[in-house]
Amino acid sequence: MENWRDCGWSLVCYRALSELEVVVSQIEAGEWMLQVNPRRVPGFISRLFGSKPSATPKDVHELALAVHGTLSKAQLLGRPRWRWDGFPDETNSTPKPEAS
């Protein structure tokens, strides 16, 4: 695990050829953000030359479900809010990860 931006941690996860990252960061006292994403996402020029993200949306969703299940079993989730590709708020989030 790496100290991420001086206020959180990142953990790299591998599954077959996929490479993902889980980032945990405190955003307010008692409130935490957890992000699951491909470790590498190519920019515009790289995509033109055929480069692809290091994980598919399906890979991201499956890891998010596994993280959610683990944190739920450990009773570390109060009132989770999940959102695909954006910051989860009261109106644009779900209590567990949903597919995009």
Helix/strand/coil (H/E/C) assignment for every residue in 15-46: ECCEEEEEEEEEEECCEEEEEEEECCCCCHHH
CA distance 49 to 33: 33
pTM: 0.85
Q: What is the predicted pLDDT for the residue at 3? A: 56
Query: Span 70-96, mean pLDDT?
Result: 89
Write out pLDDT tens, residues 48-72: 999 999 999 999 999 999 999 999 9
Q: Is the pLDDT at 41 greater than 60, yes or no?
A: yes
Residue with the two structure tokens 């960061």: 25
Strands 31-38 and 8-15: what pairing? unpaired
Residue 35 pLDDT level (bands cut at 50, 70, 90): very high
Please give the structure tokens belonging to residue 8.
Answer: 């959180």
Write out pLDDT tens, residues 14-33: 999 999 999 888 887 778 88
